[in-house]
Structure 1
């Protein structure tokens, strides 16, 4: 294959097709991909809850911060590579986009192997730090030690999924992840209930599914993509690595801060739960499920944010500012409406939602309902916050994006998790959620409103310049 044929000559639809159709065509597969990534954990938790019990679910909650760290690195390189490639494609610099794709694969493989090795070597100390107790440690070790073996596949599949959207094929991004999720859903009950492998079976189902997703997406970029893997571009390039990491840092920080938050949350749940009639293990298990439900709700906002990214980046690079503004406003509106509907379900039907995860323990169910209603009480603000943060990342403003990524969890939620329980005990952990959600949305508004005004000025200047030329 000649290098000149690696990129096809067809005009990129990001710069010409109607924004509404583009946003939906890119966002819906992104939402499904985000939901699928959540489903890997949710499906495990449902089947573990039914087949092992709440101690098994507590173990997956303990393992979740480690999985979040892995996701942080996958999101960092995947979103960074996608944002950089979209900007360069908008400028017509296709060779740079090809270098980005091939360098992204090198980074994902190397980083995946490194993370898996470190995690396995220090597994028990890490799980202890994340809140494992004497009763939950065996389950956590069984689950996490196996999941860590699939880390390289996880990083490659998530990275290539991001690049498929920038390549103009969001459905391929969705299919690659969806195939793995479907397989995970089939294998989970077989491994847990038929073969009686317990939490080990859930972990084996997960890594098998990640491997299949990696194969599907790799084949696309070998044989089908507009951008493709090619040996002449498969070499480390320092400037490309720098751009991938700097543009992706805000997304990586979001996930990494989520890990820190989860560690604080887990240890606080055990500490304050043991001081109440709830007990630490029950509190840990119930909140773990609520956090997974929050991931599902946030998937809609993240999906619209991710779907808008290549549209924003490409059109900014092409200096099509009206399309940039239209894409942002439309993404914010739809994301906000979607998460509001999810919030409404959690407030009105919490028992129905929690019943999916097992109901053998009434204390667990009662506390889970309170967690769902109170902790997620302000999540309706997430659409505005997430899409706005993604806007700064997509338009090449990593400093603002990084600051806003840290805002909710590091600057607001973690201090609230530490301070409110001193006065209100276990309830303080629950009320920290809505306080952080609403507070962060107000601060994000202070950044995005001036940005929209600046964008409006650029649009006006273009109109005046066009009118002057016409005259």
Structure 2
């Protein structure tokens, strides 16, 4: 799990590099996902299942703003990886400086807008009925920490583009561990309820920011913080935006999906049905961590070798990443098919003195979550090709196909399906939309990836 220098991305064996890059990325994503998972379990057990639904309403709003930083980070990281591969250190440094300035500017604007329209946004994303007040408490506090989240997401991708996955992993672990410790103190010990959950999250973002800031001041980083590179360079900003737009578009679609899903499910089954989706949403973030880890590890390898015109290594990295990710996805699939009821039970409170409403909500969630979870993850073994295929175009700087393939599953297929099928099949129509979209998107991505490999990765 040692860090590698940028040059080693072009010389070491692909399998060895992918393990070195993907393992720490997977561990970091695992810890981050465990944080979300355990955080939800704590909230469900110590506050109640409606509180899980409230967080589910807030997440797409705060994460969209945080995803602005991720978009800038991934877009800039693609430029940096290729610049380092081409031995253009000046462009790498200027790109990094522009990433910092752009992230601060745009996220502060978004936070101001988010706080201004809080009473409109929360109901729009499904924060209705008894969910609203808890969601508002959580939303306002967490939004103060979102600029730090955006800078963390940006910095993490830059660290990985330097070939320093171990430091990127630590940067993901710090807020996760910090959040869980603060959750226990603020919710369970000090009994601050939803406010405690929100402050735990916000403070954890700050802790991560301090670590990343330290990294870029230290000798570990090849990209030093330098004020002379902070002024906006519009040609670099355009390139960052075109590539980062892929990630931003993906998160925008995710936020739209949360909006639609929370509202559709609220109409079908009220707060309890939103809680079912909240649990499944946590598993979507957690269970696929090894696949996302392989995808993150693949990006700098493909980008560097493409920049260095080592096309055989690029091709090998694609096939190796798909193979690794597919094996891991199949293992995840097996676990989710066998233990869905046990997973659902982890999120539910068993405290004495629960109201009839809380007891009825728990019973509904426990009854409906297992079958829904099996449908949602039914096509998991094949998603590796779709994720790696879309990531490849992003790694080599081809923004348009990367954008279209990224939007393929959720935007072009999933959203139309959840708008149509529930009208005929009710809640079943919602759940079966997931595997149908996965299959269709994988077929499309496989076609275009094969075509691109045959056209460009020759010689």
| Alpha-carbon contact 2:67-2:153 (below 8 Å) kept | no
**Partner in structure 2 of residue 110 of structure 1:** 105
Aligned residue number for residue 410 of structure 1:
411
Contact 2:145–2:205 (Cα < 8 Å) also in 1 = yes
Q: Which residue of 2 aligns with 1:241?
A: 237
> In structure 2, what is the Cα distance between the partners aligned to 1:386 and 1:167?
22
- Using the TM superposition, give the Cα deviation of residue 300 of structure 1 relative to its aligned residue in structure 2, in angstroms: 2.2
Q: What's the counterpart of residue 25 of structure 1?
A: 20
After TM superposition, list the pairs within 5 Å mapping 1:214-229 onto structure 2. 214-224=209-219, 225-229=221-225
Question: Shift of the alpha carbon at 1:167?
Answer: 1.3
Identify the range of structure 1 (105-114 vs 65-74) with the bigger mean alpha-carbon deviation. 65-74
Residues 1:334 and 2:324 aligned together: yes
What SS is found at the alignment partner of 2:163?
A: coil
Q: Which residue of 2 aligns with 1:196?
A: 191
> 1:127 Cα shift?
0.6
The 2-side partners of 1:117 and 1:212 are apart by 22
Q: TM-score, normalised by structure 2?
A: 0.94
Q: Across the two proteins, how many residue pairs are aligned to each other? A: 443
Q: Distance in 2 between matches of 1:42 and 1:293?
A: 7
Gaps of 5+ in 2: 351-361
Find the aligned partners of 1:36 and 1:245 in 2 and give their Cα distance.
29
- 1:85 CA displacement: 0.5
Deviations 1:445-467 (A, max 9, x none): 111111122245x1xx3xxxxxx
Question: Given the alignment of the two structures, is residue 142 of structure 1 paired with residue 137 of structure 2, yes or no?
Answer: yes
| Cα shift at 1:40 | 4.1
Deviation at 1:381, TM superposition (A): 2.2
- Structure 1 CA distance for aligned equivalents of residues 330 and 83 of structure 2: 35
Secondary structure of 1:236's aligned partner: coil
Q: Is the 8 A contact 1:111 1:152 kept in 2?
A: no
Query: Does structure 2 retain, via aligned residues, the 8 Å contact 1:250–1:398?
Result: yes
Secondary structure of the equivalent of 1:99?
helix
Q: For 1:232, what is the secondary structure of its paired residue? A: helix
- Indicate conservation of the 8 Å contact 1:72/1:253, yes or no: no
Matching residue of 1:4: none
TM superposition shift of 1:357: 0.8
Larger deviation, residues 293-302 vs 437-446: 293-302
Q: 1:391, CA displacement in angstroms?
A: 0.2
Change (3 A) 1:318 1:47: same
RMSD (CA atoms): 1.4
Residues 282 and 364, structure 1, Cα contact 8 Å, conserved in 2: yes
Change over 3 Å in CA distance of 1:39–1:112 after alignment to 2: farther
For 2:216 and 2:402, the matched residues in 1 are separated by: 29
Aligned to 1:353: 343
Q: Do the aligned partners of residues 11 and 60 (structure 1) sit closer, same or farther apart at CA in structure 2, a change above 3 Å counting?
A: closer
Q: Which runs of 5+ in 1 are unaligned?
A: 1-9, 274-279, 462-471
| Aligned mates of 1:355, 1:213 — CA distance in 2 | 31
Q: Residues 398-431 of structure 1: CA distance to partner in whole angstroms, max 9, x if unpaired?
A: 1000001111111111111011111111111111
1:254-301 alpha-carbon deviations (Å, 9 max, x no partner): 11111111111111001112xxxxxx1111001111011011133322
Residue number in structure 2 paired with 1:277: none
CA–CA separation in structure 1 for the residues paired with 2:255 and 2:212? 27
- Structure 2 counterparts to residues 449-464 of structure 1, below 5 A: 449-456=450-457, 458=458, 461=459
Match of 1:262 in 2: 258
Question: Partners in 2 of 1:142 and 1:295 — Cα distance?
Answer: 23
CA distance in 1, matches of 2:304, 2:444: 27
Structure 1 353/11 Cα, relative in aligned 2: closer, same or farther at 3 Å?
closer
Equivalent in the alignment of 1:468: none
C-alpha separation in 2, matches of 1:128 and 1:27: 39
Q: How does 1:176-325 map to 2 (within 5 A)?
A: 176-224=171-219, 225-273=221-269, 280-325=270-315
Q: How far apart are the structure 1 equivalents of 2:8 and 2:252? A: 34
Q: Which residue of 1 aligns with 2:38?
A: 43
Large movers: runs of 4+ above 4 Å? none
1:130 aligns with 2:130: no
Alignment check: 8 A CA contact 1:112 1:153 kept:
no
Partners in 2 of 1:436 and 1:370 — Cα distance? 18
